[in-house]
Amino acid sequence: MSARHPISLLLRITAFALLAGRGASAGAQLFRDQSNERGGGLMQTCDSSMHVGFQTTLLNDYACVFDPVVVPGQTVPSDMVWSYYYSSSFQQAYGNQLQLTAPWADPYPVCLTVNAYDLQAQQPCSTTVCDMIAPVSNVICTTLVADFEIAAIDGQTITFQDLSSFDGIIQQALWSFGDGASTAGVAPTNTFAGSGPFEVCLTVISGPPYYCTTTLCQWLYLGPGNVECAELVEQGYLYLESGNLVGVIDTSRTSGMYSSIDWDFGDGATAFGNMAVHQYTWPGEFQLCGTLRAWGPLLADTCVSTVCRTVVPQAVSVHEYGAVSYAAGPNPFTDEVTITGVGLDHAAITLHDALGRRVGVRYSAAAYDRVIVDVSQLAAGHYTMRIESPLRTTVLRLIKQ
């Protein structure tokens, strides 16, 4: 299992507090990774009274069940869309519950989008939340928690103490000290050169038959405060793309300092948190930017950095599943759109604006093979229409003049 121990408050251990009068160094400080404090990720255009989340139930054999938790507030929810990066591509699913079975224990991102109508703003809106999921081979692995602290300090020589716990037997404790050295044991000692920071990681492994694994990393610093940003902070993020779906996962090094990150997808959509997913509704070239802010007891000031990259999501005009497609016209349209195809009397038709928010439309006429949609109230711009029936699913890109 690769899930980390729940993040606690910032842990600072100084030499004089641990070993009074032992001739220790000027100070040794141990910081837990604070990145999880930022949360998984949030993109919200709905009223702030709406709260969206999901509960994850880990099952045996890398299976997971996800159930939405929605407090509508001053909104009226209409539908839910799950997005997840799976087998090297983004996939989507619709409905109240999502069930996935991974082939291995590698973590993967899952996002839930709730489309709604904002009663305050009197317009459609959406809220998306994301989280990183770490499946397990057996649920007993969720009880394996890695933890450690500084046990003793003698100059640049640090002794650590393993505090890990498990509802079973821990077979191995493996250490890496961030300076190229590594060892095994419950109370290892390492002599560090320089002030750091050093990323000290403890990996604990249970015995048979499950061989559960989890890792906790903390940052060790052996120098004075007022450190320059470049020594402690390095921004980076992982970019994922599949069709017109784009995801970002923050990979920045912040050396245990507090931090926040904001995302700008270049088309008006913004988000914040460790990860985000966004569906572009028209093709083009966009500037995707992440802005990282870091602060903490070692830094002289707040560090701010922005990394941008140009993204060109694939143009998605039609996605079809089934033998026969649906069509809509005219395109561009003004007041009405006519949809043609077999089985429209059993189809669910939804329309989304350029930010992916569901918009309300009126059907002035409907039949087995033809539907006329009244779109006169829509503002000019780009829209995406999704047509779902028992026979097929079609996604069309439309333009309102």
> Residue 21: exposed, middle, or buried by beta-carbon count in 10 A (0-12, 13-18, 19+)?
exposed
Per-residue pLDDT, 99 = 94
Task: Strands of 170-224 (E only): list them.
Answer: 170-176, 182-184, 189-191, 198-206, 213-221
Q: Are 72 and 116 in contact, with CB atoms under 8 Å apart?
A: yes
Which residues make Cβ contacts (< 8 Å) with residue 250, sequence separation at least 6? 35, 38, 236, 237, 238, 261, 274, 275, 290, 292
**Tokens for 198?**
């050093």
Per-residue pLDDT, 64 = 96
Which residues make Cβ contacts (< 8 Å) with residue 124, sequence separation at least 6? 115, 116, 117, 118, 353, 357, 358, 359, 360
CA trace torsion 268, 274, 275, 280 (10° rounding): 10
- 230-311 and 318-400: same fold? yes
Class of domain 230-311 as given by CATH: mainly beta
Residue spans per domain, the chain: 15-37+140-224, 39-137, 230-311, 318-400
**From 3.10.20.30, 3.50.30.30, 2.60.40.10, 3.30.230.70, which CATH number describes the 318-400 domain?**
2.60.40.10
**Tokens for 275?**
């990860």
pLDDT means per 10 residues, the chain with 401 residues, are: 31 29 52 71 90 96 96 91 81 89 87 90 89 93 95 94 95 94 95 93 92 93 88 90 85 92 93 90 86 92 94 55 61 84 76 75 67 86 76 72 79
**Tokens for 6?**
């729940």
Per-residue pLDDT, 339 = 85
pLDDT digits (tens, 9 = 90+) for 34-68: 766 656 788 988 989 999 999 999 999 999 999 99
Per-residue pLDDT, 62 = 93
* pTM for the predicted model, two decimal places: 0.70
Per-residue pLDDT, 354 = 67
Class of domain 15-37+140-224 as given by CATH: mainly beta
Positive/negative CA dihedral, 273, 277, 278, 283: positive
**From 3.10.180.10, 3.10.20.70, 2.60.40.10, 2.60.120.380, which CATH number describes the 39-137 domain?**
2.60.40.10
H or E segment and range at residue 16: helix 15-18
Block residue for tokens 């017109």 = 244
pLDDT digits (tens, 9 = 90+) for 338-379: 888 777 777 788 888 766 677 776 666 566 678 888 888 888
